[in-house]
Amino acid sequence: MFKSLLIANRGEIACRVIATARRLGIRTVAVFSDADRAAMHVALADDAVRIGPAPAAESYLNQGAILDAVRETGAEAVHPGYGFLSENPAFAEAVAAAGAVFVGPPPSAIKAMGLKDAAKKLMQDAGVPVVPGYLGDDQDAGTLAREADKIGYPVLIKAVAGGGGKGMRRVDGAADFQAALEGARREAAASFGDDRMLIEKYLTRPRHIEVQVFADSHGDAVHLFERDCSLQRRHQKVIEEAPAPGMTPELRTRMGAAAVTAAKAIKYQGAGTVEFILDGKDGLAQGAFFFMEMNTRLQVEHPVTEMITGQDLVEWQLRVAAGEPLPCAQEELRIDGHAVEARLYAEDPANGFLPASGTLHHLAFPQATRSVRIDTGVAEGDTVTPFYDPMIAKVIAHGADRTEALDRLTAALNATEVAGMATNRRFLARLAAHAGFRRGEVDTGLIDRDLDALAEPDAPSPALLACAALHAAGILDAPEGGDPWSTLRGWRLWAGGATPAHLQTPAGETLEIPVTALGRGRFRLALAGGAVEAAVTARDGRRVTVDLGGNPVTVSVAAGPGWATLFLGGAEAA
């Protein structure tokens, strides 16, 4: 096993790799940009090397700076994480040339899967089923249009060198084809420097199911079952789960065998994910699946596989890269229960999922247990910068069955507290509770069909409004036994002893709630639904218990100079 490992990445995946390396007794080296000088992954590593300014092109994509760090620290191996340089064959070759081991597949395998058209032809030749489509070299617009007519609409135009949904267009009829092709080509040229396209049959209720594979240098390969990644928005995964809802043992066996065949066809080594698309209009009853692509790295969603198999996939990566055989044979692998992962992002669902940035004034997660796992690379007080992916954390839950796993995920999301910027936390919680999703009616269009309801800002409950009004009036943070009115923040008493508490709802609406002192620590709040009496009955750190008309309510209060956010039952008010 290696004595030292450089992680050529940042954020939660760098922290994740460091955790396993530390457990195995491997010295870790972090790399960081100027924006990440105080980042969590830097603090966790045994050593750290600056690799450039904040922009990724000048730091985490700067191969020369990273290779200099490898040589400077004497790192014996390099783990690329995901994104950035993880699927760059030239980087894998350069790592080897620098005398270190690339923790990933051979450059030849990365190249083989890097171009979608060549990869599909290779898979076709290996006997792996592929989606009906056109993979030809003739890129004339007229040729592509005729091929689309032959395939039959709807079709999907995809960039040959694409990924992440870029250079991709769905076309429902011939009249729309040319405009869609031009748009996809422009996007592909800007993103990849390659405007070549392939055409595929578009499945109207597509299910995105991927299979985790592992292969070693001794010729052995296994699969660690499947993950369902069908809950997507703009071709980006939102919630992933394992195993796939509705999966049959027979279909799992066939898909696993096809994935292993794909890996062996390119002499693969290490962790890889073979992505398939299925028609989900009749559940998985049709049993037909088609190869989409192979990701030659560890996936963001690998924790759900770890939770249902009990395996540490990063440890598998390190052992395989060190030349060891696979830790398990296929017959030794078992599925235990169900796991679900949600990606918590700094983004505003009510504003078109616009990425957010700024300081994490407050960040609290539920306690990690055997059933709930939090993978993050940030902590309270850190900054989410506009330079990188705005992921805050991955929230993962495990249960004996799918219902229990989803219940635990929902509870974990509701117990997560973030203040300082907009997040998709409530969007994720609503999605986890979505009736159709709960029934297993999953396909890649589910979010788009119900987007308005899923992304709509919360209407604060009367209890949350009451607590927020008490806090705005300075009552929740009054000292025990003290006079709450002494803490009023420069507000003027109304006639009759009432003070206006001004609140802003998540939808941006400003509310004015009169608060009247009744004496003996009790107050009357004039809510829209009627007046309610309130009194603070207990304080425990940030948690304050309030009696509202005889009903005890415990609210979590996070506050600092110029800001305050209250959390209650998964909802929040600022």
Residues annotated as catalytic (active site), given as ranges: 297
| Closest-CA residue to 168 (of 184, 189, 145) | 184
Contact yes or no for 431/231 (Cβ under 8 A)? yes
What sign does the CA torsion over 347, 228, 367, 27 have?
Answer: negative
Q: What is the maximum span of the chain, computed from C-alpha positions, in angstroms?
A: 84
Contact yes or no for 188/162 (Cβ under 8 A)? yes
CA 250 to chain CA centroid, Å, is: 30
Contact yes or no for 143/125 (Cβ under 8 A)? no
Contact yes or no for 413/572 (Cβ under 8 A)? no
d(CA 161, CA 504): 46
Place of tokens 């907009």: 422
Radius of gyration of the chain (CA): 26
Contact yes or no for 428/238 (Cβ under 8 A)? yes
Contact yes or no for 531/522 (Cβ under 8 A)? no
d(CA 456, CA 449): 14
d(CA 121, CA 106): 20
Looking at residue 400, the DSSP 8-state letter turns out to be: S
Label residues 529-565 b or e (16+ Cβ within 10 Å = b). eeebebebeeeeebebebbbeeeebebbbbbeeeebb
